[in-house]
């Protein structure tokens, strides 16, 4: 069996874009988390998936909720990615309830945050959920999608980089 450290090292060789998943809970409170485990699933119907650690608050929100937004981050949003990272409070960062303080956003159709300056916004209704190890794969049916100009923020081998073209 492959050790978690070896697996993390190998998977880290796969460059990925960075997204912040946002949702509103049943009390109307905003939640957000940084995710690199995001991808498209299907064109017809348009489906995407995000993998969410079962120990996070966002997992509980998506377990009960019906909608979420995928905000694909642009190259200038590394600080925002760190801010919404799930482990930030354990490292002395920003507490979860303060993550949206001072962050620019508008509301999507479901009420979830569409972060300013993101490369794209994908508004989803939860289509299905699948438990997979210590994560849940949340599949969303895309209701609205908007692309904006810019370059993506990339995560590779434990750090951020930018795509040069």
pLDDT at 93: 61
Rounded alpha-carbon distances, angstroms, from residue 37 to 1, 14, 98, 104: 22, 11, 24, 24
pLDDT tens, position by position, 139-158:
999 999 999 999 999 999 88
Is the C-alpha dihedral spanning 27, 108, 35, 48 positive or negative? Answer: positive
Domain-wise residue ranges, the chain: 4-158
> What pLDDT sits at residue 165?
66
Q: Give the percent of the chain with pLDDT over 90.
A: 80
Architecture per CATH, 4-158: Roll (2.30)
Predicted confidence (pLDDT) at residue 133 exceeds the cutoff of 90: yes
> What is the per-residue burial (b if ≥16 Cβ within 10 Å, else e) of 56-75?
bebbebbeebebbbbbbbbb
The 10s digit of each residue's pLDDT in 27-57 is 999 999 999 999 999 999 999 999 999 999 9
pLDDT tens-digit readout, 87-118: 544 445 677 778 999 999 999 999 999 999 99
The pLDDT value given to residue 34? 95
Question: Does the structure show a pLDDT above 50 at 119?
Answer: yes
């Amino acid at each position: 069996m492959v050790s978690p450290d070896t697996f993390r090292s190998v998977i880290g060789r796969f460059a990925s874009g960075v997204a912040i998943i946002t949702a509103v809970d049943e009390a109307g409170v905003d939640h957000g988390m940084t995710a690199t485990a995001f991808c498209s699933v299907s064109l017809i119907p348009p489906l995407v998936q995000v993998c969410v650690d079962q120990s996070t608050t966002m997992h509980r929100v998506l377990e009960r909720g019906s909608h979420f937004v995928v905000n694909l981050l642009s190259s200038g949003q590394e600080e925002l990615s760190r801010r919404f990272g799930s482990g930030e409070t354990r490292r002395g960062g920003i507490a979860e309830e303060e993550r949206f303080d001072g962050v620019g956003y508008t509301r999507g159709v479901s009420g979830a945050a569409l972060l300013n300056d993101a490369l794209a916004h994908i508004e989803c209704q939860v289509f299905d959920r699948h438990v997979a190890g210590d994560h849940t794969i949340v599949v969303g049916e895309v209701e609205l999608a908007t692309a904006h100009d810019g370059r993506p923020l990339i995560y590779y081998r434990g750090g951020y980089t930018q795509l040069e073209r």
